[in-house]
Structure 1
Amino acid sequence: MAGGNPVFDRLNKQIEKERYAGFGAPQGSPQQPAQQGTQAATTGYATQDAMTAQQLNDMYARQAAGPADTGRVTVDDIIIKSAALFVVTVVVAGASWAWTAANPSMTLLFWMGGMIGTLVIGLGIAFMKKVSVPLIMVYAVLQGAFLGAFSQYINSIPQYEGVVQMAVLATLCVFVAMYIGYATGFVKVNAKTRRMFFFAIVGYALFSLLQVVLLWTGVISGWGFGESGALGIGLSILGVGLASYSLAIDFDSIDHAVQVGAPKKYSWLLAHGLIVSIVWLYIEFVRLFARLRD
């Protein structure tokens, strides 16, 4: 189910190691010590007889331990942590927007600093053995700084006026549509589609990295390959499609983590992945709408 995602490969190993998938061995099972079985055999029903009727009634009426009681991931956990990361990103983006609008000379610093910082920290989050909440928070702050500077710059260009607002609305609509599609089974996620998505995303990432290098060196300009022609618009549509399906992958990963009883600490990682996909989708929409304006 985890496909080629190193985070979820590690998560599954952790689940198997810590036995999060069950509540423990029942009485009389092979996992129980032999001494316990001997004691039960010799005492017979003595223990049960010693309990009052009220104690027995309370024991059977007691609510079973849920995921939250056993330290496992819950949907509520992921929603709360996603909301926290989203708020941090949006607040910092708003501050970055206001600061770069008042100080245009700082736009490049916020833009490049945020972009390079998120790239480096993102790789660290993906491959480090432990889930680091402070690192995830720093990523959200840098992501907000980049988003604010990037969005403010686009909005300051007269021909792109309104593109940012359109991209925000489009991102929200696609998020809702993908969730409904996944929940109803219309959008499928399985091992095969995960493999296909993995190779597609690796190819797109390498292509994007090459494009950034060529833009920095002046070999190409504007929006990169294809500029605002048919090729450029086609590439932006491809980016929007990949980012949209990334949301479905995130929904499926969350569903899988809850089902198998992943450790609670992974709720931060799942929330982080969801916010990253949302931001990626927003950026792709900005590029697409700007190209269409051209």
Structure 2
Amino acid sequence: MASNPAFNRLSKDAQQGYAGFRTGGPQGGSGATHGTTDQLSAQQLQDMYSAPSAVRPGTDRAVTMDDVVMKTLTLFAIVLVMGAVGWGVAAANDGLGLLLWMGGMVATLVLGLVIAFKKTLSVPLIVGYAVVEGLFIGAVSQFFAAYFDPPNTPAFQGIVAQAVLATVATFAGMFIAYKTGLIKVTAKFRRIVTMMVFGYAIFAVVNFGYAVWTNTAFGIGGTGMLGVGISLFAVGLAAVTLALDFDAIDYAIRTGAPQKYSWLLAHGLIVTLVWLYIEFLRLFARLRE
């Protein structure tokens, strides 16, 4: 939940009954209806989290793992297609590529905040975010390939292919670690990761300003040991955040979130994966320098 502020609303809506949904009931005893949540104890909220979900008759069905997987694949496909477009535009025109890079960075930030804090869940906004994110990723990837791959480097040996492979491997490793219980997401764990993510976000903004001011590629640390250490920390933080995303999916399924929330869960997962991919690109670029 720390990787995407929208998941805070997921938790809040679960406690309030998802505005038409509720977990448990008089017989189930696993949750509370809207209006009584504020009176629940911490133990009751934990019981609600752990208990099976129950959806009222006549409402839309609750989210399932299949829903989340399908929505994630849909958004991932959009990112890939638009990424190819962004790559082609950046390769053909450096100016337009830079526009996609900088404009995409600002647009994803604005859209991300709107999605996170909008009172109602908007699927078109989530899809639009994937479109913009794909264009941004395509332009960024083309830049890294152009500047950090030696001439005539085969595509499968390029920095982009290495970053993709590292991202997929990290995702698989974190998923196995989470499912086997090697990594347990507790309230304390979530708070710590949340603070670290917010702290790194502040650092990233400061570092971007420093990089622009000093006209350096990576900002603080450059390509030295400090810079490599910063990139390793960022990769580790993004990887750990995946566990929070997996936990958010389990939480939504347990509390009987409406099927529409699968779009929100998929969005959060894609956001973290793209962040992880960008950090791998930066790490490998620093190592090549």
Do the structures match in fold with TM over 0.5?
Answer: yes
- 1:124-203 correspondence to structure 2 within 5 Å: 124-159=114-149, 162-203=158-199
1:76 aligns with 2:39: no
Q: What is the CA-CA distance between 1:66 and the residue it aligns to?
A: 11
Distance in 2, matches of 1:158 and 1:240, equals 19
Q: Counterpart of 1:8?
A: 10
Rounded to whole Å, the distance in 2 between the matches of 1:128 and 1:141 is: 19
Once residues 55 and 147 of structure 2 are traced to their aligned partners in structure 1, the CA distance between those partners, rounded to angstroms, is: 57
The one of 253, 267, 271 equivalent to 1:258 is 253
User: How far 1:220 moved relative to its partner?
Assistant: 5.3
Q: For 1:221-269, what per-residue CA distance to the aligned partner results, in whole angstroms no more than 9, with x for missing partners?
A: 1211100111100000010011101111000110111011112221111
Amino acid at match of 1:275: I
Tell me the equivalent position of 2:37. Answer: none
Q: Aligned residue for 1:204? A: 200
Structure 2 runs not aligned, ≥5 long: 28-53
The whole-number CA distance in structure 1 between the counterparts of 2:26 and 2:9 is: 28
Counterpart of 1:151, as a letter, is: S
Distance across 2 between alignment mates of 1:222 and 1:16: 45
Aligned residue for 1:21, secondary structure, equals coil
Query: Which consecutive unaligned segments of at least 5 residues does structure 1 have?
Result: 27-63
How many residues are matched?
255
Residues 87, 78 of structure 1: CA spacing in aligned structure 2 closer, same or farther, 3 A cutoff?
same
TM superposition shift of 1:102: 1.6
The CA deviation string for residues 71-91 of structure 1, in whole angstroms up to 9 with x for no partner, is 211111111101100000010
TM-score where L is the length of structure 1: 0.81
Give the Cα separation in 2 of the matches to 1:158 and 1:276.
24
Match for 2:225: what amino acid?
Answer: A
1:103-144 C-alpha deviation (Å, 9 max, x unpaired)? 222111110111110000101111111111111111101100
Say whether 1:227 aligns with 2:206.
Answer: no
Q: 1:221 & 1:21 partners in 2: Cα distance?
A: 53
After superposition, the CA RMSD in angstroms is 2.5
1:270 is matched with which residue?
265
Is contact 2:21-2:258 (8 Å) kept? no
How far apart in 1 are the matches of 2:193 and 2:182?
17
Mapping for residues 10-29 of structure 1, pairs under 5 Å: 10-15=12-17, 17-22=19-24
1-side partners of 2:60 and 2:90: how far apart? 46
Going from structure 1 to structure 2, the CA distance change for 1:268 and 1:245 (only over 3 Å counts) comes to same
- Residue 70 of structure 1 and its aligned partner are, at CA, apart by 4.8
Distance 2:273 2:106 in 1: 19
What code does the residue aligned with 1:253 have? Answer: A
* Fraction of identical pairs, as percent: 47
Q: Residues of 2 paired with 1:168 and 1:66: CA distance?
A: 43
Letter of the 1:207 partner, please give it.
F
Distance in 2 (alpha carbons) for counterparts of 1:121 and 1:293: 33
Contact 1:15 1:263 in 2 (8 A): no
Q: What CA distance in whole angstroms lies between the structure 2 residues aligned with 1:130 and 1:70?
A: 16
4+ aligned runs moved over 4 Å, structure 1: 1-5, 64-67, 158-161
Contact 2:174 2:242 in 1 (8 A): yes
Q: Secondary structure at the match of 1:157?
A: helix
Distance in 1 between the 2:108 and 2:71 partners? 19
- Whichever of the two has the greater Rg, that structure is 1
- Cα drift, residue 25 of structure 1: 5.4
8 Å Cα contact 1:236-1:288 kept in structure 2: yes
d(CA) in 2 for partners of 1:87, 1:156? 24
CA shift, 1:219, in A, is 3.0
- Give the Cα–Cα distance (whole angstroms) in 2 for the partners of residues 11 and 97 of structure 1: 39
CA contact (8 A) 1:2 1:9 kept: no
Aligned to 1:118: 108
Corresponding letter in the other structure for 1:180: I
Contact 2:210 2:220 in 1 (8 A): no
